[in-house]
Structure 1
Amino acid sequence: MNVQGLSEREIFSYLENAKSEDTDYYRVLSSMCTHPHKIAAEAHRLFIEANLGDTGLFAGAHRLEQEVVRMLGELLHAPSIDVPSGDSCESSVCGYLTTGGTESNIQAVRGMKNLVTAGKEGLKGTPNIVIPESAHFSFDKVADMMGIEVRRASLDSEFKVDLTSVESHINANTIGLVGIAGNTEFGQVDPIDELSEIALENEIFLHVDAAFGGFVIPFFEKPQPFDFKVPGVTSIAIDPHKMGLSTIPSGALLFRSPSFMDSLKVNTPYLTTKSQFTLTGTRSGASAAATCAVMKYLGHEGYRKNVQYCMQLTVKLVTEARKIGFEPLLEPVMNVVALKVPDPDLVREQLLERFGWNVSITRTPRALRLVLMPHNTPEDIEIFLQDLKKVTAEI
C-alpha cells in the first residue's frame, strides 16, 4: 500500500489501464455471461451499499430480493414462494439470492446432506450424489468441502445423462441426483422428468442446475420439462447474471420445501435477524436491485425476444457453418453450439492469436464450443466463420 493517497485522476488512470487488459465482449463466443442491461447497472449503483446479510438494516433491499424470488418462482412454476426473513420459511417454496451457480449447487447438496443426516437411517458409509459427466465443476468443490462422494453417470449419444447409468450408480448411501438444464459444454437438457421418477422411486432428492437454461428454456415455444412442474424436483439453481441480463454476481436458489431452508439455518445473535439460511454472511443488495429492475423492465415478453434473438444467431451460425463444411456435434437445443473442426485446440489458439476470437473447447468429444449471447450480432457470425475458414484451411 502506498504511504500517501493518490489523486482521483491517478486512480482512474490506473483503473483504466487495468480495464484495457480485460477482454471486450465484442469477440467473445465462449462466455455464458454478457453485458448487464443498462437498467440493471443503474439499479446496482443505487443500492451499492446494501447488505442482505443484515436485512433488518436494509429492509428495502430485502423486499427487492423477495420480489425477485417471487418472480423466479412464478417463472419456474412454484405453487407458492417465500424468502425467509426471520426464523422460518412458511411457504411451500423458499429461496434466496446467491452469488451464482456454484454457491447454489453447494447449498443444494448441503441441504440434502443435512436433511439425510437428521432424518434418514441406514446410511452406512460416505453419502454420495449421482451427477452427469456433463455437470459443472462446482460439484467437485461440493465433494471436497462436504466429504461427499460424487458418482458420475455417463452420457447418451445426444449428450444427455444416461438413465441406466444413473440407476446403476445409486446405492444405499445415495442422497440425491443432479440434472442439468442447459449444460455448460453442449447446452443440452437432461431428461428431468425421468430423473424425477428415479428420485421418487428411491426416495432421494433431485437438484436441477439451470444456471444457464433457467432464463432460456421457459421462453421457448415448447419448453422441455425441468422445473417445479416436475414432481421430484426438490431444488433449482438459476443465474440472473447469465441470460437474465443482471449484474455479476447474481444467482438464485429455490427449494420446493421449507425443510430445506430450515436445514441450512444458523443462529446470528448479534445481527438484526435471529438466523440466516445463506452460505455467505454479507450479501449484495445491489445485485438484488439489479435483478429486480431488469426482470420488471423486460418482463416475460422482453426475455422471450432476448432468447429468440440468441436462437436466431444460433441457427445462422449452424446454417452458415454447414455451407463451408462444418457440422455441429448435435442440433443445438439452446444458444450453445459444439462445432466439429479439425484439431480444435489448434483452431482455438489460431482464432485467438490471429483474429482475437475467444472460443472454448468441449472435453469429450473435443469440438469448438460457441455460446451465442446478446452481445453477439449477425455480422459477428459472418466474420467469425470467414476467419474459421481461413484458420482451418491451413491445418
Structure 2
Amino acid sequence: MAEQALSEHGMTWGEVFDQLIRRRGERIPYQSGQYSFFWRKPIENIWLAAEKAASLYFGETYIGEANLPSQAIFDAEIKAMVAELVNLPAGGHVTLTSGGTESIFFGVKCARELAREQGRAAPGSARRPNIVAPSSVHCAFEKAASYMDLEVRRVAIRDDARADVRAMAEACDEHTILIAGSAPSYPYGLIDPIPELARLSLEKDLWFHVDACVGGFVNPFFRELGVNLPPTDFLVPGVDSMSADLHKFGWAPPGISTFSLRDGSHQRLQRFHFDGRLWQCGDYETDTLAGSRPLAVLVATWTAMKMLGRGGYLEGARRMREQIERLRRGIATIPELVLRWEPESAFVIYGSDELDTYAIANGLNAHGVPTVCYPLMKPGIHLIIDPLETDQEVERYLACVRQVITEVKDGQHQATGQASTYG
C-alpha cells in the first residue's frame, strides 16, 4: 500500500535511505533474473566507473552547449564510435535517443515524411500508408504507426522463423512506405535476410529500416570471432536507417539508444522545427522526442565505451559465445529438452516436445528463477545471454532445470495456459 503522496513536513535522509535500502532488497537478485529481466552489465569495474561518472554530472541537463560546452564532445565521440561499429558511410548521421522504441519511431517517421515529400502519403488521404514487416518485428513499429496513423502489415515468417521476402513483396502496394527487418528479431533471436530485404526496398523504391536494437553492438564482434552472421548494417546497399541500443549490448546504463541514417540529409525528416515567429522564444528545433535530457546517461555511456574499447567489446562477445555453448551442451544432456532454434545472436531459446514447456517455466519461477515463456512457433523459454555468468552459475541454472523436469513429470507443476507478457 502506498503511503501518502507528499508528507506534511518531509522525511530525514536517514528515513529515506532506510526505505531505499529496504526496497532495493526486494528486487530480484541479479543471478536469479539474469536470463530474463536484466539487460547486460559490463565487467564490474567499468560499471562502477560509469556510475561514478554519472554522479559527477547528476542534475545536469543535456540540451544546448551554453551551460557545458564539453557535452558536445561527449555526444560527438559517442556518435563517432557508433558510426564505426555500424559501418555508417561518410555523410551519414547518428542520433542518440532514449531507447529502442524512439529509435524505431524515427525510422517510421523518416519513411512517412519522405513519402509525403514524394506525394505518396498526403495527410488525410483515403488510404492509410502502410509498413510491411515480418510478423516477428518489435511492437514498437505498431506503437509508432498508432501515433502516425499508419497501417502495419505483419507478414507470416518462413518455417525457419525468418522474414519471408517473397511474401513481403506481395504484401507491398502503392501505399507502402517502409519495409522493416530485424537483426535479430526479439522473439526468435534470428537475423532476417537483410540483403534480400534491402534489394526488395531498392526495387520498389521504399525506405528500409533494420531494427538491430538487440544485436547492433554485439553482431560485429561475433563476426570477428568467426561466427557466420549475414551482413546487417550499412555495408548492405539499400539500408536507409538502423536502430541499435547502447543500453543493451553497448553496455551502457538504461536510457540510451541510437538511430542512424545512411544519408545525413534525411535528418530533416526526423527533426521537429517550430517557427519562432509563432511564439515568444524564437525557433524551437529538436532531433529527439525529448527536449532536455539527463546528461548523466550520456556521460556514463561515454565512460563505458571509452574504457571498454574494441578489446573490451570483443571480450564480452567471446564470453557470450562461451556461455551460449555451455547452455547448448547442457540442454543437449537433458533428453526432454530441445533447442528451438540454433543460437545466432544474443538469445538461447529452448522447450520440450514431451512435456509442457509452460509447466517447466512455472516450475523455474517457483524455484525463484524468473523465467519467461513465449508461444512462438512452439512454446519456448527465452534466455537473454550475459557474458558475466561463470561456469558454476550456468551449472546451477541447468541443475535447477533438471530438478524442475523431474517435478513436472511428477505433476508438481502445471501449465497456466498463459504466455509471459513482454513489456
Structure 2 CA distance for aligned equivalents of residues 271 and 206 of structure 1:
37
CA contact (8 A) 1:101 1:211 kept: yes
In structure 1, the partner of 2:130 is 128
In structure 1, the partner of 2:418 is none
In structure 1, the partner of 2:304 is 294
Structure 2 CA distance for aligned equivalents of residues 138 and 208 of structure 1:
13
**Alignment equivalent of 2:257, drawn from 251, 257, 270:** 251
In structure 2, the partner of 1:105 is 104
Corresponding residue SS for 1:178: strand
Structure 2 CA distance for aligned equivalents of residues 273 and 75 of structure 1:
34
Corresponding residue SS for 2:339: coil
In structure 1, the partner of 2:342 is 331
Q: Which has the larger radius of gyration?
A: 2
In structure 2, the partner of 1:358 is 370
Corresponding residue SS for 2:232: coil
Structure 2 CA distance for aligned equivalents of residues 56 and 158 of structure 1:
53
CA drift of 1:32 comes to: 6.0
Structure 1 CA distance for aligned equivalents of residues 52 and 241 of structure 2:
31
CA contact (8 A) 1:25 1:34 kept: no
- Over 3 Å counting, the alpha-carbon distance change for 1:246 and 1:272 in structure 2 is farther
Q: Which amino acid aligns with 2:344?
A: V
In structure 2, the partner of 1:382 is 395
Q: Deviations over 1:205-231 (max 9, x none)?
A: 111111110111100234420111111
**Alignment equivalent of 1:11, drawn from 16, 20, 37:** 16
Structure 2 CA distance for aligned equivalents of residues 98 and 239 of structure 1:
9
Q: Which amino acid aligns with 1:318?
A: R
Structure 1 CA distance for aligned equivalents of residues 323 and 87 of structure 2:
28
CA drift of 1:271 comes to: 7.3
- Over 3 Å counting, the alpha-carbon distance change for 1:142 and 1:266 in structure 2 is closer
CA drift of 1:57 comes to: 3.0
Q: Deviations over 1:333-367 (max 9, x none)?
A: 0231110222222221211112x112212332211
Q: Which amino acid aligns with 2:402?
A: K
- Over 3 Å counting, the alpha-carbon distance change for 1:46 and 1:224 in structure 2 is farther
**Structure 2 residue 235 is the aligned partner of structure 1 residue 225:** no
In structure 2, the partner of 1:370 is 383
CA contact (8 A) 1:237 1:253 kept: yes
Q: Deviations over 1:252-292 (max 9, x none)?
A: 11111223311222236577985211111122222221121
Over the matched positions of the two proteins, sequence identity in percent amounts to 28
CA contact (8 A) 2:214 2:346 kept: no
Aligned residues: 383
In structure 1, the partner of 2:320 is 310
Structure 1 CA distance for aligned equivalents of residues 219 and 283 of structure 2:
36
Structure 1 CA distance for aligned equivalents of residues 161 and 187 of structure 2:
10
Q: Which amino acid aligns with 2:155?
A: A
In structure 1, the partner of 2:55 is 45
Q: Deviations over 1:276-327 (max 9, x none)?
A: 1111112222222112111111111110110110111011101111112222
Compute the TM-score of the two structures, normalised by the length of structure 2: 0.86
Corresponding residue SS for 1:187: coil
Structure 2 CA distance for aligned equivalents of residues 105 and 24 of structure 1:
31
CA contact (8 A) 1:185 1:338 kept: no
In structure 2, the partner of 1:27 is 32
Corresponding residue SS for 1:215: coil
Structure 1 CA distance for aligned equivalents of residues 344 and 235 of structure 2:
20
CA drift of 1:168 comes to: 1.6
In structure 2, the partner of 1:118 is 117
CA contact (8 A) 2:198 2:238 kept: yes
Corresponding residue SS for 1:330: coil
**Structure 1 portions without partners, runs of 5+:** 81-91
**Structure 2 portions without partners, runs of 5+:** 1-5, 409-423
Return structure 1 stretches of 4+ with deviation > 4 angstroms. 268-274
Compute the TM-score of the two structures, normalised by the length of structure 1: 0.92
**Higher relative contact order, structure no. (Cα contacts within 8 Å, ≥ 6 residues apart):** 1
CA contact (8 A) 2:82 2:94 kept: no
Q: Which amino acid aligns with 1:276?
A: T
CA contact (8 A) 1:47 1:61 kept: no
Corresponding residue SS for 1:27: coil
CA contact (8 A) 2:115 2:121 kept: no
Q: Which amino acid aligns with 1:189?
A: I
Q: Which amino acid aligns with 2:24?
A: K
Q: Deviations over 1:226-263 (max 9, x none)?
A: 11111111111111111111111111111112233112
Q: RMSD across aligned C-alpha pairs, in angstroms?
A: 1.9
In structure 1, the partner of 2:188 is 186
CA drift of 1:20 comes to: 1.8
Structure 1 CA distance for aligned equivalents of residues 66 and 109 of structure 2:
26
CA drift of 1:153 comes to: 1.7
Corresponding residue SS for 1:369: strand
CA contact (8 A) 1:40 1:245 kept: no
- Over 3 Å counting, the alpha-carbon distance change for 1:32 and 1:212 in structure 2 is farther
Q: Deviations over 1:7-57 (max 9, x none)?
A: 111011111122122222211211461235222222222222232233443
Q: Which amino acid aligns with 1:280?
A: A
Structure 1 CA distance for aligned equivalents of residues 121 and 293 of structure 2:
37
**Structure 2 residue 332 is the aligned partner of structure 1 residue 322:** yes
